[in-house]
Amino acid sequence: MPINYLRGFASPERTDANNRRLGRWLAFVAGAANAGGFLAVGQYTSHMTGVVSSMADNLALGEIELVVAGLSALVAFLFGAATSAILINWGRRRRAQSVYATPLLLEAALLLCFGLIGSTLGHHRLLFVSATVGVLCFVMGLQNAIITKVSRAEIRTTHVTGLVTDIGIELGKLVYWNFAGMAIPDVRADRRKLALLSSLLGMFFVGGLVGAVGFKHFGFLSTLPLAGVLLTLAAVPVLDDIVGERR
């Protein structure tokens, strides 16, 4: 049934299939938000490796304002991940059906607000850039922590460097020539893992393309469908809690 299919995205009872489906959609959202954020302020917001590297470079060059900006982005991402962990653990203590849906709702609300008021901030450039980077970095940290907790650190949706590294490792195993008669076990690629990683990378890329095209034509309103996707992923477990409390 469609309702059970939708429930599986963010329900407390996890399966590998549910985790893969959730991971792919979150990778799509991350790619779209990341690309849209770059077109808005010229900065990627899921790339903490680049943020930390730029902080070191700017500190060496004496660009203190840019160092502070980078630190703010890093702290926002960190707080997003921490907030996700707090919400998930709070939900677990309450035995809520929406234990994983609550952070998704918060992410949807932030993207919804960003889409509705983003254009009004454009006249205040300093406030606009700071708010955009802060919100999107917080969202990226929030989302990455959700899928990390759900999948027990097996899936990442914003950390493309890790995805490409793991794909390379599995491809290396796939083409490895196992010599006959060796005493050690043969090297075997995990084809299922390779397919999952490739699909996550592909969804991030497709999301980035959709986000860039959407922002180009519709501006900040292009984040509203992303919020809709997240609301769809989270809706059924939240409704389960509401119905359960009324009984």
Please state the domain extents for the chain. Answer: 2-237
pLDDT tens digits, one per residue of 91-131: 999 999 999 999 999 999 999 988 887 766 656 666 667 77
Confidence band for 232, pLDDT divided at 50, 70 and 90: very high
DSSP assignment string, the chain: -HHHHHHHHH-SS--HHHHHHHHHHHHHHHHHHHHHHHHHHS--SS-HHHHHHHHHHHHHHT-HHHHHHHHHHHHHHHHHHHHHHHHHHHHHHHT-TTTTHHHHHHHHHHHHHHHHHGGGGTTSHHHHHHHHHHHHHHHHHHHHHHHHHHHTTS--SS-HHHHHHHHHHHHHHHH----TT-SSPPP---HHHHHHHHHHHHHHHHHHHHHHHHHHHHGGGGHHHHHHHHHHHHHHHHHHHHHHHH-
Res 48: pLDDT: 86
Res 92: pLDDT: 92
pTM: 0.91
Q: Does domain 2-237 have CATH number 1.20.1250?
A: yes
